[in-house]
Amino acid sequence: MPDVTADLPPPVNHVLVDFENVHEINHAVIGNKTVSFTLLLGARQTKLDVSLVEKLLEHAASVQLVRLSSSGKNALDFTLAYYVGRAVAADPTGFFHIVSKDTGYDPLIEHLRSKHIRAHRHDDFTSLTFSGPAKLPAPIPIAATPKPKSPIKPKAPPASLDQRETQVLAHLRKPSATRPKNKDKLASFFVAHLGHKITDGQALDLIENLSQAGHLTIGEKGKVTYHLEPK
């Protein structure tokens, strides 16, 4: 029987940026074929970097620019929540990414996940990852004020999603391995096993990819069934 899922388009990643909170935009995200990009500006934000404007215009079909007409406490937060709701209603099977350091969005993220909506918050673009093979280069700072350079301890690059899949599969296939029976517990296990180098949202994406690859099945109430024989 032919695989009917092979012809399905990849899921859309809906990226909504709180520009009052995050000012460094990764230009490579804009125009990515799997991304719908929404940039929200406060009423007092009247200037944008020319290169960013050019990028937004170049990919206008997949970009939404929202500027508030008046300011107020949490005005942009409530507006962003509205646009997330619209996107979820239009594409409930998509991935939804809020880029903001504001932890006030976390209750919204938790509520969406309780409704089985794949939603995540990222402090900045360096922690933003998508499901699938697409990889993003480092973000380009815009309108940044030069700061004195200080010695930076080099860090090892984070493992790719494929490497993480290999790591967790190798562990789960061990005869003595602990295999959590619940999706949420499995996500927490992945975070701990990978040395807390991934977020809870990335752990859920990892589970989604393993499920799509046939290594596990998520049943009712998040029950996990494993299919760990090498393919």
| Euclidean distance between CA atoms 48 and 32, whole angstroms | 21
Inform me whether the pLDDT recorded for 163 exceeds 90.
no
Lowest mean pLDDT among 78-92, 116-130, 156-170: 156-170
Average pLDDT in the 84-107 region?
A: 95
Inform me whether the pLDDT recorded for 155 exceeds 60.
no
Check: CB of residue 228 under 8 Å from CB of residue 169.
yes
Amino acid at 227: H
pLDDT score of 213: 78
Inform me whether the pLDDT recorded for 3 exceeds 60.
no
Pick the CATH number of 161-226 from 1.10.10, 3.30.379, 1.10.860, 2.70.98: 1.10.10
Inform me whether the pLDDT recorded for 138 exceeds 60.
no
- Contacts of residue 102, defined as CB under 8 A and 6 or more positions apart, other chains included, come to 18, 21, 77
| Euclidean distance between CA atoms 158 and 110, whole angstroms | 25
- pTM for the complete prediction? 0.57
Domain boundaries, the chain: 4-127, 161-226
Fold designation for 4-127: Rossmann fold (3.40.50)
Inform me whether the pLDDT recorded for 170 exceeds 80.
yes
Q: Which two tokens stand for residue 9?
A: 């388009």
pLDDT score of 191: 83
pLDDT band of 203, cuts 50, 70, 90: confident
Inform me whether the pLDDT recorded for 32 exceeds 50.
yes
Q: Which two tokens stand for residue 163?
A: 């490497």
Helices 200-212 and 161-172: crossing angle in degrees, nearest 10, is 70
